[in-house]
């Protein structure tokens, strides 16, 4: 039976102009541009409905070679530990006070053991994801630098690229180390400690003598692990010996490359720590010969304590109903690639207790969000707003009236009366007025839920959020809010991508650069993201697939295959743009510039252009309109794009503020906070000292 894949007119922009292909028996191919939450959701729904799906994403993965990053702004941005000014003094005191003789005996060992904690603080990290390939059948081959990986890149080219990364890291770390510790080091070596510093820094004589003999013990700017791995075949001890030898060869060769390329950089073989891990981390299913070959490699890791920058993603019950549904259909696989009984949804844990902090010096006011099961529970909630939030009885009565009015309205009435009205106007109907305390609370509280003030958010969105938080389905357990049990990328996004790849979704590193007119629709032009994502030194360009079969054996083969691959993707049956609004707007306006009348444009492109004009982002000719900001940087009133900023604090103590989300309704920025580490099942490795 033939299936009809014809789509409505609004899909015409993304269809290939091939009439003979509109009726066929094989599933159509959909290419999605963007691997954020929207792009992954589209890929998930389409692949489970039998479509062939490609995902093209310009962002390179900071943790995996030849892979794109998924999750968009929700993905973790990993930084390095921020070292405080007295870290050196604390380490010195620990050496003096410790009862462990080995620490006093060998200062160098102690310093290296504390490397992850004392590593230089910078926001910018320098991840090294390149893998150096080896041949286990010929482990002593001296020509290993000429080996090519599946993408036609030689080990020698990768070593030159890694040398650039390490040189940049050295420059940044060395400069900051000078600022942080040079004065203390000079004081220690020359014995001219200031009286105030001597009181907080009581040093044993052996400590000072050790520093005088080798000042670099406390000035080790950069240290890199060189880790060798093999496949799982053979004797484990032999595999560790072979992989250790590979790591040593790479460390020696890399130090030579750095010395030739960057003679001023003080990186030597002593900066590398070579380790043989054997077959403890094979790549892919080891039944396949190709995966066994890929597993024979050397990887790199800079000593540091990574700290995960979180977007602050929140999982409201029913508010993101589609995400919960998708997570329940995303199974989790173990380290061997076998499916487990868990899903991505099982990685969520409830945050049952919420608190409100007023500027009254009384600390947190705990709010137990629960389904009302008695009149007493309602009275307790009313009493809280009366006593703590300073609402008057008149304020509470008016709010209850409007709340009940909305709850007793049918969906059509809610849309008609609350969709186009701000929450502020809805609760101020008939000219009612509130006390100053209630007015401040009403204006700021919605920002914690939907990132907009009461004057900006529509009443329907705000009331729906409140209802879904307070009045769940009676047959379901009440869970007001959810948090992941780990970092967003590890607990959810990477597992989501893994599942989609197993289902057949193909991921590519590339960029949607242009839309061109094609009959009644538009077709995409795909370019390389290497110009902005990869530094000089790694010879890659064009679209890059994550999984290759068969491997490219030369640069000529690679270039020809990339050209064919780009053409095949650009000839997909349908396309989906799941990219940021600004990027989509620029592509659409540029593509439509040659069209004489915007009346000829329909569907989502027309809607996007009308949105830009209506909100004042662009004029009717597509020219950008610069919106003025307030002196504090706040966008102009009515600007559809508002800034949402956050700050994360990592502290040495196991400390948390509240047991869930804390709202600060009286703060000028409408702040909310949560201690995410308290919900994590596993910490980022190495853990280091930051545990709160």
Average pLDDT over residues 156-165: 92
**Picking from 32-36, 234-238, 400-404, which range would have the lowest pLDDT averaged per residue?**
400-404
Q: For residue 684, is it within any domain?
A: no
Length of the chain counted residue by residue: 692
Q: For residue 364, is it within any domain?
A: no
**Dihedral of alpha carbons 471, 472, 477, 480, sign:** negative
Q: Say yes or no: 284 and 393 in one domain.
A: no
Q: For residue 288, is it within any domain?
A: yes
Distance CA 97, CA 104 (A): 10
Q: Which of 529, 551, 579 is the last residue of a domain?
A: 579
Distance CA 302, CA 126 (A): 8
pLDDT at 84: 44
Q: Say yes or no: 497 and 439 in one domain.
A: no
pLDDT at 216: 52
pLDDT at 191: 56
Q: For residue 669, is it within any domain?
A: no
pLDDT of residue 23 exceeding 60: no
- Per-residue pLDDT band at 55 (split at 50, 70, 90): very high
User: pLDDT digits over 65-121, tens only?
Assistant: 888 999 998 898 887 664 443 444 455 455 555 555 554 444 444 444 444 344 444
Cβ-based neighbour number of residue 624 at 10 Å: 13
> What burial letters (b/e) apply to 164-179, b meaning 16+ CB within 10 Å?
bbbbebbebbeeebee
Structural contact between residues 177 and 120, judged by C-beta atoms closer than 8 angstroms: yes
Q: Say yes or no: 426 and 510 in one domain.
A: no
pLDDT of residue 536 exceeding 50: no
Q: What's the distance, CA 29 to chain centroid?
A: 28
Average pLDDT over residues 488-500: 93
What is the per-residue DSSP string for 647-666?
A: -----SS---SSSS-EEETT
Q: Say yes or no: 153 and 246 in one domain.
A: yes
Structural contact between residues 136 and 231, judged by C-beta atoms closer than 8 angstroms: yes
Q: Say yes or no: 60 and 196 in one domain.
A: no
Q: For residue 563, is it within any domain?
A: yes
> In sequence order, what are the residues at sequence separation of 6 or more whose Cβ sits closer than 8 angstroms to the Cβ of residue 478?
369, 370, 371, 472
Q: Say yes or no: 98 and 63 in one domain.
A: no
Which structure tokens are listed for 382? 């009313």
User: pLDDT digits over 470-485, tens only?
Assistant: 554 444 455 567 888 8
pLDDT at 185: 55
Question: What's the total number of domains in the chain?
Answer: 3
626: burial class by Cβ within 10 Å (0-12, 13-18, 19+)? exposed
Distance CA 373, CA 379 (A): 11
CATH code at position 566: 3.50.50.60
pLDDT of residue 405 exceeding 50: yes
Q: For residue 675, is it within any domain?
A: no
Between 324 and 381, residue with greater pLDDT: 324
Domain containing 449: what range?
Answer: 372-470
User: pLDDT digits over 584-612, tens only?
Assistant: 999 999 988 877 655 567 788 888 998 88
- Per-residue pLDDT band at 213 (split at 50, 70, 90): low
Q: Say yes or no: 104 and 27 in one domain.
A: no
pLDDT at 287: 83
Distance CA 610, CA 589 (A): 11
Of 305, 261, 320, 246, nearest to 74 by C-alpha is: 320
Q: What's the distance, CA 675 to chain centroid?
A: 18
Average pLDDT over residues 480-493: 86
Q: What's the distance, CA 499 to chain centroid?
A: 18
Q: Which of 272, 304, 336 is the last residue of a domain?
A: 304
Q: Which of 545, 579, 613 is the last residue of a domain?
A: 579
Q: Say yes or no: 91 and 59 in one domain.
A: no
Distance CA 83, CA 32 (A): 42
Q: Say yes or no: 431 and 549 in one domain.
A: no
Instruction: Specify the pTM.
Output: 0.80
Mean of all residue pLDDT scores within the chain: 76
- Per-residue pLDDT band at 303 (split at 50, 70, 90): confident
Q: For residue 683, is it within any domain?
A: no
Q: For residue 120, is it within any domain?
A: yes
What is the per-residue DSSP string for 9-71?
A: GGGGGGS-S-GGGSS-SSPPEEEEE--SHHHHHHHHHHHTTT-EEEEEE-PBPSSSTT-B--S
Q: Say yes or no: 441 and 465 in one domain.
A: yes
Q: Say yes or no: 146 and 102 in one domain.
A: yes
Distance CA 55, CA 575 (A): 10
pLDDT of residue 683 exceeding 90: no
> In sequence order, what are the residues at sequence separation of 6 or more whose Cβ sits closer than 8 angstroms to the Cβ of residue 232?
279, 282, 286, 292, 295
E strands in 123-172? 132-133
Q: Say yes or no: 96 and 233 in one domain.
A: yes
């Amino acid at each position: 039976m033939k299936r009809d894949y014809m789509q409505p007119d609004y899909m015409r922009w993304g269809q290939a102009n091939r009439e003979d292909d509109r009726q066929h028996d094989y599933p159509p191919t959909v290419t999605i541009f963007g691997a954020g939450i929207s792009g992954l959701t589209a890929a998930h729904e389409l692949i489970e409905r039998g479509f062939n799906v490609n995902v093209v994403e310009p962002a390179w993965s900071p943790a995996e070679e030849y892979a794109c990053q998924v999750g968009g702004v929700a993905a973790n941005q990993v930084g390095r530990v921020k070292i405080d000014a007295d870290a050196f003094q604390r380490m010195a005191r620990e050496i003096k006070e410790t009862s462990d003789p080995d620490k006093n005996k060998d200062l160098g060992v102690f310093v290296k053991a504390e490397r992850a904690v004392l590593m230089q603080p910078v926001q910018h990290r320098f991840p090294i994801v390149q893998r150096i390939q080896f041949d286990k059948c010929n482990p002593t081959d001296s020509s290993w630098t000429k080996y090519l990986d599946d993408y036609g890149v030689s080990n020698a080219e990768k070593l030159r690229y890694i040398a650039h990364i390490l040189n940049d890291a050295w420059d940044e770390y060395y400069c900051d180390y000078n600022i942080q510790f040079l004065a203390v080091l000079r004081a220690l070596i020359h014995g001219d400690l200031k009286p105030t510093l001597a009181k907080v820094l009581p040093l044993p004589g052996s400590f000072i003598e050790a520093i005088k003999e080798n000042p670099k013990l406390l000035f080790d700017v950069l240290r890199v692990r060189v880790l060798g791995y093999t496949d799982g075949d053979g004797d484990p001890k032999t595999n560790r010996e072979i992989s250790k030898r590979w790591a040593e060869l790479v460390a020696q060769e890399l130090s030579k490359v750095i010395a030739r390329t960057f003679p001023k950089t003080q990186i030597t073989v002593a900066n590398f720590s070579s380790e043989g891990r054997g077959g403890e981390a094979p790549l892919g299913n080891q039944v396949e010969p190709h995966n066994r070959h890929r597993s024979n490699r050397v990887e790199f890791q800079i000593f540091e304590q990574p700290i995960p920058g979180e977007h602050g993603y929140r999982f409201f019950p029913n508010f993101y109903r589609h995400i919960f549904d998708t997570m329940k259909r995303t199974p989790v696989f173990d380290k061997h690639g076998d499916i487990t009984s868990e899903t991505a949804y099982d990685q969520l844990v409830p945050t049952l207790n919420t608190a409100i902090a007023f500027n009254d010096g009384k600390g947190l006011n705990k709010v137990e969000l629960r389904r009302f099961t008695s009149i007493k529970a309602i009275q307790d909630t009313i009493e809280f707003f009366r006593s703590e939030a300073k609402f008057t009885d008149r304020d509470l009565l008016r709010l209850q009236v409007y709340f009940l009015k909305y709850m007793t309205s049918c969906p059509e009435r809610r849309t008609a009366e609350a969709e186009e009205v701000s929450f502020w106007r809805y609760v101020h109907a008939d000219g009612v007025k509130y006390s100053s305390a209630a007015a401040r609370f009403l204006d700021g509280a919605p920002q914690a839920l939907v990132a907009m003030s009461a004057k900006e958010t529509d009443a329907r969105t705000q009331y729906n959020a409140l209802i879904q938080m307070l009045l769940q389905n009676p047959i379901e357990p009440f869970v007001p809010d959810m948090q992941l049990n780990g970092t967003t990328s590890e607990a959810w996004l990477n597992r989501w991508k893994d599942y989609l790849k197993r289902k057949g979704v193909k991921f590519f590193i590339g960029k949607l650069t242009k839309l061109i007119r094609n009959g009644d629709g538009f077709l995409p032009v795909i370019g390389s993201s290497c110009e902005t994502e990869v530094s000089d030194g790694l010879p890659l360009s064009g679209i890059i697939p994550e999984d290759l079969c068969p491997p490219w054996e030369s640069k000529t083969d690679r270039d020809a295959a990339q050209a064919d691959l780009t053409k095949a993707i650009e000839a997909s049956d349908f396309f989906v743009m799941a990219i940021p609004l600004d990027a989509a707007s620029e592509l659409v306006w540029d593509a439509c510039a040659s069209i004489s009348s915007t009346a000829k444009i329909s569907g989502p492109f027309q809607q996007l252009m009308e949105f830009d004009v209506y909100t004042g982002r662009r004029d009717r000719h597509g020219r950008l309109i610069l919106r003025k900001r307030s002196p504090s940087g706040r966008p102009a009133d009515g600007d559809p794009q508002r800034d949402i900023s956050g700050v994360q604090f990592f502290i040495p103590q196991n400390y948390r503020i509240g047991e869930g989300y804390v709202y600060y309704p009286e703060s000028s920025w409408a702040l909310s906070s949560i201690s995410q580490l308290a919900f994590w099942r596993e910490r980022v490795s190495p853990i280091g000292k930051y545990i709160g």
